[in-house]
Amino acid sequence: MKIAFVGKGGSGKTTLAALFLRHLAAETPAPPLLGIDADINQHLAAALGADESTASPTLGENLTAIKEHLRGDNPLVTSAEDMIKTTPPGRGSRLVGIADDNPLYRRFVRDVHGVRLAATGPFADSDLGVACYHSKVGAVELLLNHMVDGKGEYAVVDMTAGADSFASGLFTRFDVTFLVCEPTLRSVGVYRQYLGYARDFDVRVAVVGNKVVDQDDVAFLQQHVGADLLGWIGRSDHVRAAERGDIRPIAALEPGNRDTLRRMRALVDGVDQDWAKFHRQTVEFHLRNAVAWANGRAGRDLADQVDPDFVPGPVSLTR
C-alpha cells in the first residue's frame, strides 16, 4: 500500500510519517515497510532518530541507475536517457516490491531503528537554474510507478509542502493520502486546496488533525473538515522530547495518539487497490508530460513508450 503525508509546511507531515512508520515497525509481526523522504527539506531520517553521520546515497544521486534498473528489457524504453520521470512500466520492465532485495534498494535504502528508509536527497545549489526539485522527486515517481505492493505492506512517503506535488502526477500514486491539518485557518485552507485537485483524480484523502490542544481545536477541525476527519494527534510531549534529541520508544507515545495511528493503519488496510486505475493515471500523466516538455526534448512522440496491453499488479511481479 502506498501512503502519502501531505499538508501545509510545519503542520507535522514528517512527524506523523515518522510516528506512523515507528508504530508499524513495532507491531507484531512487523509488516514490510519502506519510508521515502520526498521533501525538499530532508527531515524524516532525523525524525526516525537517525544519526546524520550515517547518511546513505540518495534517490536523486541514483536517478540514472534507477532508470537503468527499472527499464529492464522493455523494448519501448531503449536507454536511460529516453526514460523520463513519467515513463510507464511495460512488458520487460523490472518492477519492485516494498521489501524485496534488489540492487536499487541495496544502493540507497538504509535501516533506521527498524525502519527501512530511502531519501530523495536535498535540493543542491547546483540544481538551481538547471533543474527543479521535481526532477529529483521524479525518482520517487518512477519508483512508485514501478512498485507492486499488496495489503499489509506499506510504502510511506513524506511529501513536499502544500500543493507543490501537483506539478507532477506524484499525488495520484497513493492508496491513501493523509492530509495533516493543524486547527488553523491556514492549514484548513491547504486542505481545501488539496481537495480541489484530489477530486478530479479520485484521490482518497483522510485528514489527521495535529497539535490539537483542547476541545475547541477538535470542534474547529470537525466544523471545517467534517467526515474527512479520521482522527487527531494532540500536542505531544513525546514529540517535543524527540525535538530535544530524546527519542522515546513508540510504546511511550500518549495512548490517544497511538489510537489514532491504529485507526490510520485500519483505514489503509481497508482499501482495495485498483491497478487498472493506477496505471491509467501513470499513462495519463506521461502523455501530459510528453506534450508539455518531453517530446520537444526527445525529438519524437514519447507516447510510443506506452505498452497498450500492460497493467502492473501482483500478477506482473511473477516474471
Given the rule CB under 6 A, which residues bind ligand ADP? 7, 9-15, 43, 210-211, 233, 235-236, 239-240, 243
User: 214 is in the binding site of which of ligand ADP, Mg ion, none (Cβ under 5 to 8 A by kind)?
Assistant: none
Name which of Mg ion, ligand ADP, none residue 148 binds, using a CB cut-off of 5 to 8 Å depending on partner kind. Answer: none
In the block, which residue shows the cell 525538499? Answer: 40
**Using CB under 5 A, which of the segments 9-17, 21-29, 100-108, 136-144 binds Mg ion?**
9-17
Name which of 42 and 93 has its Cβ closer to ligand ADP: 42
- 114 interface partner picked from Mg ion, ligand ADP, none, CB below 5 to 8 A per type: none
Q: Which does 12 bind (CB under 5 to 8 A by kind): Mg ion, ligand ADP, none?
A: ligand ADP
Interface segment toward Mg ion; rule CB under 5 A; list 19-27, 41-49, 86-94, 174-182: 41-49
Closer of 60 and 234 to ligand ADP (Cβ): 234
Residues 21-40 that bind Mg ion (CB under 5 A): 39
Tell the smallest beta-carbon distance from residue 39 to Mg ion (Å). Answer: 5
Q: Count residues binding Mg ion (CB under 5 A).
A: 4
Question: Which one of Mg ion, ligand ADP, none interacts with residue 233, CB within 5 to 8 A by kind?
Answer: ligand ADP
Rule CB under 5 A: say whether 14 interacts with Mg ion: yes
Among Mg ion, ligand ADP, none, the one that 11 touches (CB under a kind-dependent 5 to 8 A) is: ligand ADP
User: What size, in residues, is the chain?
Assistant: 319
Q: Which residue is nearest to Mg ion (CB)?
A: 14
Joined grid coordinates for residue 218? 477538535
CA distance 72 to 90: 10
Query: Rounded to the nearest whole angstrom, what is the least distance from the CB of residue 27 to ligand ADP in the complex?
Result: 21
| Site residues for Mg ion per CB under 5 A | 13-14, 39, 43
